[in-house]
Structure 1
């Protein structure tokens, strides 16, 4: 009797549609303020203290947030294109119905953040720290990530498509429908937390020696 293949549930993304945005060529961002329906182009928010700031239905094009403090900030119904920050500090931030196009981030400190219906398309991130984060309905595609830390994170309906990852850490992660098919990774840690991860045959062949070592299996 044939064994029925388990069903993989794909991420459910809400489209981000922005209309009637007003332009702000020289924004004066302030900590804890709320910004609605604004388009920011080639603006610089480097080094600003923006903890708890709320952005809703905003578009960011080529904005630099290098070393800005975005701890606890919220981005809702936003599109961010060409986001730039060698140091991106947004721990415990909230991202809901957000699209990021071709971001360029060095150290992205997003630990204990919450992501729901988020898409990242393209770009390069040196270090993406999502330790302890909660990810629901997330797609990351065609992206280069040198180091991805998902330690102790919770992820449901997450897909990484055609990405290149150097080091992937899943230690203590709780995952369901976490789809890695088509993504290349050089090293992976946290093999005991692979439950809920979806891989293809080729990825399984690469993981086989690591899994054997983890389980104490001797292959002769």
Structure 2
């Protein structure tokens, strides 16, 4: 059930400049320390690193064997993005919209999200380690998703299609759409926390 994460090591990278992000194909560049937000819509990036930058938009882009460290945005526009073997570390996003995106072999570590939107996304082999969320929308096709030492205020499971999803490492306060949890693994403690929501969904009245 654990996500299958493939290891990779980036080679030596040249300095990347804002103008480089206008190219359709970008490889072996390190984008670092930009004052203004960056955008790379529709670009293909291979073996690149982003550090100490604000990323505004990567809609319909393809990121393959890339690293993001100390990156972030008040509102990341990433609808339709394709992430394959990507690592995101020590980053913060007010919202991260991955609607209709594809995430395969992605690790988020020490990251904070206001709202993470995976509605309509195809997610496979993704791990969140030591991450915090205000809300997660899991309404996509999700396989082998795992959490470790992470916390969320609310999980929205309406329309979720879960397969081999392990939520035991996610401390959450509330779940919307408990019927969408089919295919997930939870702990006995989490089951107790879900009792009231599940009873309400099934039309069961709780006595005093």
Q: TM-score interval w.r.t. the shorter chain?
A: over 0.9
Contact 1:116 1:136 in 2 (8 A): yes
> Which structure dedicates a bigger proportion of its chain to strand?
2
Distance 1:147 1:159 in 2: 16
Distance of aligned partners of 1:30 and 1:100 in 2 relative to their CA distance in 1, 3 Å threshold: closer
The answer as to 2:45 corresponding to 1:55 is: yes
Deviation at 1:47, TM superposition (A): 6.2
The 5 A counterparts of 1:103-182 are 103-151=91-139, 153-182=140-169
Match of 2:7 in 1: 15
Which deviations, in whole Å up to 9, do the C-alpha atoms of 1:96-148 show, x marking residues without a partner? 00000011111211111000000000121111111111100000011111111
Contact 2:91 2:112 in 1 (8 A): yes
Deviation at 1:44, TM superposition (A): 4.5
Match of 1:4 in 2: none
Contact 1:144 1:163 in 2 (8 A): yes
Q: 1:209 aligns with which of 181, 190, 196?
A: 196
The 5 A counterparts of 1:29-40 are 29-31=20-22, 33-40=24-31
Match of 1:6 in 2: none
Contact 1:16 1:98 in 2 (8 A): no
SS at 1:82's partner residue?
A: strand
Distance 2:38 2:69 in 1: 20
Distance of aligned partners of 1:194 and 1:81 in 2 relative to their CA distance in 1, 3 Å threshold: same
The answer as to 2:88 corresponding to 1:96 is: no
Runs of 4+ in structure 1 off by over 4 angstroms are: none
Match of 1:79 in 2: 67
Distance of aligned partners of 1:44 and 1:57 in 2 relative to their CA distance in 1, 3 Å threshold: farther
Gaps of 5+ in 2: none
Deviation at 1:160, TM superposition (A): 1.4
